[in-house]
Structure 1
Amino acid sequence: MNYKNYPMVSRVVFGRGSFNQLGDIISPKRKNIKAPFIFLVDDVFKGNSWLTSRIPIAYNDQLLYISAEEEPKTSQVDELVEQIILSHKDRPSGIIGIGGGTILDLAKAVAILLTNEGEAKNYQGWDLVKMPAIYHVGVPTISGTGAEVSRTTVLTGPDKKLGINSDYTPFDQVILDPELAKDVPKNQWFYTGMDCYIHCIESLNGTYLNAFSQSYGEKAYQLCLEIFVEDNLTEEESQDKLMMASWHGGMSIAYSQVGVAHAMSYGLSYLLGTKHGIGNCIVFDHLEEFYPDGVKLFKQMKQKHNIKLPQGLCDNLSDEEFDIMIDVALSLEPLWINAVGKNWKQIITRDKLKGLYQKM
Structure 2
Amino acid sequence: MVPRVVFGKGSFNQLGQILSTERKNGAPFIYLIDDVFEHNKAFIEDRIELSGIDKIIYVSTKEEPKTSQVDQLVTTLKQEFSFTPSGIIGIGGGSIMDLAKAVAIMMNNSGSATEYQGWDLVSNKAVYHVGVPTISGTGAEVSRTTVLTGPEKKLGINSDFTPFDQVILDPELIKDVPKNQWFYTGMDCYIHCIESLKGTYLNAFSQSYGEKAYDLCKEIFLENNLDKEEADAKLMMASWHGGMSIAYSQVGIAHAMSYGLAYVLGTKHGIGNCIVFDKLGEYYPEGVAIFKQMKELHDIDIPEGICADISEEQLNTMVSVALGLVPLWENALGKNWKEQINEDKLKEIYRSL
TM-score normalised over the length of structure 2: 0.99
2:47 aligned with 1:65: no
Secondary structure of 1:249 counterpart: helix
Q: What pairs with 1:1-360 in structure 2 (closer than 5 Å)? A: 8-33=1-26, 35-48=27-40, 49-360=42-353
**Whole-angstrom distance in 2 between the partners of 1:148 and 1:62:** 21
Q: For 1:203-233, what per-residue CA distance to the aligned partner results, in whole angstroms no more than 9, with x for missing partners?
A: 0000011111110000000000110001210
TM-aligned CA deviation for residue 332 of structure 1: 0.2
Letter in 2 for 1:148: E
Q: Secondary structure at the match of 2:44?
A: helix
Q: Residue 42 of structure 1 aligns to which amino acid in structure 2?
A: D
Greater CA drift, 156-165 or 43-52: 43-52
Amino acid at match of 2:245: S
Deviations, residues 149-193 of structure 1 (Å, cap 9, x unaligned):
000000000000000000000000000001000110000000000
TM-score (norm 1): 0.97
d(CA) in 2 for partners of 1:40, 1:50: 15
| Other structure's SS at 1:174 match | strand
Distance 2:98 2:313 in 1: 30
CA distance in 1, matches of 2:188, 2:77: 31
Q: Sequence identity, in percent?
A: 71
Distance of 1:181 and 1:142 partners within structure 2 = 5
Question: C-alpha distance in 2, partners of 1:52/1:180?
Answer: 13
Give the counterpart letter for 1:36 in structure 2: P
Could you tell me which runs of 5 or more consecutive residues in structure 2 were left unpaired when the two chains were aligned: none
- Whole-angstrom distance in 1 between the partners of 2:213 and 2:287: 14
SS in 1 for 2:109: coil
Offset at residue 346 of structure 1 (A): 1.0
Once the two structures are TM-superposed, the CA of residue 56 in structure 1 deviates from its matched residue by 1.8
How far residue 47 of structure 1 moved from its aligned partner, in angstroms, is 2.2
Distance 1:44 1:231 in 2: 29
- Secondary structure of residue in 1 paired with 2:104: helix
Q: Distance in 1 between matches of 2:167 and 2:185?
A: 19
CA shift at 1:248, angstroms? 0.1
Q: Distance in 2 between matches of 1:97 and 1:169?
A: 13
1:153 aligns to what SS in structure 2? strand
DSSP-derived class of the 1:53 partner: helix
* Secondary structure, aligned partner of 1:63: strand
Q: Which residue of 2 aligns with 1:5?
A: none
For 1:222-269, what per-residue CA distance to the aligned partner results, in whole angstroms no more than 9, with x for missing partners? Answer: 000110001210100000000000000000011100000000000000
CA–CA separation in structure 2 for the residues paired with 1:347 and 1:211: 26
Post-superposition shift, 1:318? 1.3
Shift of 1:50: 2.3
Letter of the aligned partner of 1:11 in structure 2? R
> Hey, what's the Cα distance between the residues in 2 that align with 1:116 and 1:68?
24
SS, match of residue 292 in structure 2: helix
